Amino acid sequence: MQNKTILYMENVTVSFDGFIAIRDLNFYMHYGELRVVIGPNGAGKTTLLDVICGKTKPVKGRVIFGEKDINITGMKEHEIVKIGIGRKFQAPSIFSNLTVCENFELSLRKSKGVFSTLFMRRTKSDQEKIFSILETIGLVDKAYEKAGSLSHGEKQWVEIGMVLAQDPQLLLVDEPVAGMSDKETEKTAELLLSISRNHSILVIEHDMKFVRQISRKVTVLHEGMTLCEGTMDEVQNDPRVIEKYLGRGGAD
């Protein structure tokens, strides 16, 4: 599967009332890839994720996903989640007054529908799934603590865990280490690397140390177009990238 394309965006253009945020973009990802997209503010990085998860519709082009080459361009967000694309949003969606475990139970039930939210008792397989995810995100010992008492980093890992609970094949993560301490940033890199063993991940990030730690292949986006693609070293030494992005006193 390693060389099969999981995501294929062809000639995608996004326009906001005439302002072109993504311009004729071609973007490919393979199964098992952990791809990082970097680029200056306003480059179109978040818009790229919005297009993939169905939040924003392109005016041109198409987005193809998965083994069966499903055209997801016109699909609704919840349908896209169902076929295997999970998005971690920056805005927190966890309930502070519930324990970490209860938060997971709630999100699992929500994905099964309202009726089950009200009447379903916790099943053994749900519990197993929750604890397996807690293990992945390194928070087993916080299972019965109120989510509100977690650190900023831990809350972000819970959010990543909740996306994992949807069993996505492709995980979209926008600026996961924003506001994190150095130690949390490092742990997040390790977490994404471990998740990438059985998921494809597309992550957007500004923190260059973090990018260097996790990246295999980096895509530099600029004014809605790909400026260049390659390893971190290739990208950092590319004159176009230096001129348009890194040269102006570093990333961001």
Helices (H), 137-252: 152-164, 182-195, 208-214, 232-236, 239-241
Q: How far is the CB of 37 from ligand ADP (least distance, A)?
A: 8
Q: How far is the CB of 201 from Mg ion (least distance, A)?
A: 17
- b/e per residue, 221-242, with b = 16+ CB within 10 A? bbebbbbbbeebeebbebeebe
Contact between 176 and 36 under an 8 Å Cβ cutoff? The reply is no
Binding partner selected for residue 47 from ligand ADP, Mg ion, none, CB under the kind-specific 5 to 8 Å limit:
ligand ADP
- Any idea what the Cα angle at residue 116 is, between residues 111 and 122, rounded to 5°? 95
Contacting residues toward ligand ADP, per CB under 6 A: 16, 19, 21, 39, 41-47
Is the Cα torsion angle 227, 218, 161, 129 positive or negative in sign? positive
Q: How far is the CB of 47 from ligand ADP (least distance, A)?
A: 3
Q: How far is the CB of 206 from ligand ADP (least distance, A)?
A: 9
Per-residue DSSP letter, 142: G
- Closest to Mg ion by CB, 105 vs 174, is 174
Q: Which stretch binds Mg ion (CB under 5 A): 18-26, 31-39, 46-54, 212-220?
A: 46-54
Which of 40, 46, 48, 219 lies at the binding interface for Mg ion (CB under 5 A)?
Answer: 46
- Closest to ligand ADP by CB, 42 vs 148, is 42
**Which residues of the shown chain bind Mg ion in the complex (CB under 5 A)?**
45-46
